[in-house]
Amino acid sequence: MKSYLAAAIQMTSLPDLQKNLVQAEELIDLAVRRGAELVSLPENFSFMGEEEEKIAQAEAIGLESEKFLKTMAQRFQVTILGGGFPVPTPGGKVYNTCLLVDPNGTEVARYRKVHLFDVDVPDGITYRESNTVKAGEDLPSVYVSPELGTLGLSVCYDVRFPEVYRHLSYKGADILFVPAAFTAYTGKDHWKVLLQARAIENTCYAIAPAQTGHHYGRRQTHGHAMIVDPWGVVLADAGEEPGVAIAEINPDRLEQVRRQMPSLQHRVFI
């Protein structure tokens, strides 16, 4: 593993596949021009609209999203995480799918979101992700890259379930991806502290691309795509506008924190 720059992209995705892919490409280009070798896109990067509309277009969205990720990875010669897009299931629902693609355009890891956001948020909005999404059944995998380190996948609501990240750290993760479309209401109180907690307790970097702003209807997201170091220090924060958070992933820093705070070695219950 070497030192390199990673990017957490922040988008305002809409119910328009092509417009979203244009926005994503522009932000990937910006990240690469700033030196990023590992680029991550948020949950719902390719489509963010009403659930019925998403289901109706799911096959096209899924195919175009996967093709886009592979094309961008090859074109820019970087590793890209697509943080979440719908892939149809035989039962009429979709998997909320996270995909990691290497610079050759080859899929190296795939994760189907396990924890679905069925929540009555105190701002009066109710979310029922399970109405259209089928929960994944497998623990997220890690991908071991000689240059980039061991990368662990998750999606959004997973961040509230620390056992997911303990599993990833047990598998050797150096970096925890948390691509998200966090609600504006919950994000202001929980987003940053949850990311810091997951990074600190697992002595890992956390890379969290995010959605921001107004998408459709009453749907608003928190923004603040960020990169957090293993000590819990926020290295980069994209704020509330579309853009890119970029920071160095440094193996020496990782080793230093794990040496000074060897909590993973002190685990009693695994």
The H or E element that residue 38 is part of is strand 36-41
**CATH fourth-level superfamily of 4-263:** Carbon-nitrogen hydrolase (3.60.110.10)
Residue 189, φ and ψ in degrees, nearest 5? -100, -30
Here the tokens at position 108 are 């190296």
Q: Residue 229 corresponds to which tokens in the numbers above?
A: 């170091």
Phi, psi at 101, each rounded to 5°:
-125, 135
Closest listed residue to residue 192, CA positions, set 148, 239, 257: 239
How many Å is the Cα radius of gyration of the chain? 17
Which tokens hold the place of 49? 């609209």
Residue 117: per-residue pLDDT: 96
**Pairwise CA distance, residues 233 & 231, whole Å:** 6
Residue 135 exposed, middle or buried by CB count within 10 Å (0-12, 13-18, 19+):
middle
CA angle 181/185/191 to nearest 5° reads 55
Which sequence positions are flagged as catalytic? 43, 113, 156
Contacts of 200 (CB under 8 A, 6+ apart): 230, 231, 232
Region of residue 223 (phi > 0: left; psi between -120 and 50: alpha; otherwise: beta) = left
On whether the CB atoms of residues 209 and 222 are closer than 8 A, the answer is: no
pLDDT bin (cut points 50, 70, 90) of residue 3 is very high
> Alpha helices, DSSP H only, in the chain?
17-33, 51-56, 58-76, 162-170, 184-202, 251-260
Best mean pLDDT range from 3-7, 118-122, 266-270 = 3-7
pLDDT of 198-247, one tens digit each? 999 999 999 999 999 999 998 999 999 999 999 999 999 999 999 999 99
Q: What is the pTM of this model?
A: 0.97
At 269, is the pLDDT very low, low, confident or very high (cuts 50, 70, 90)? confident
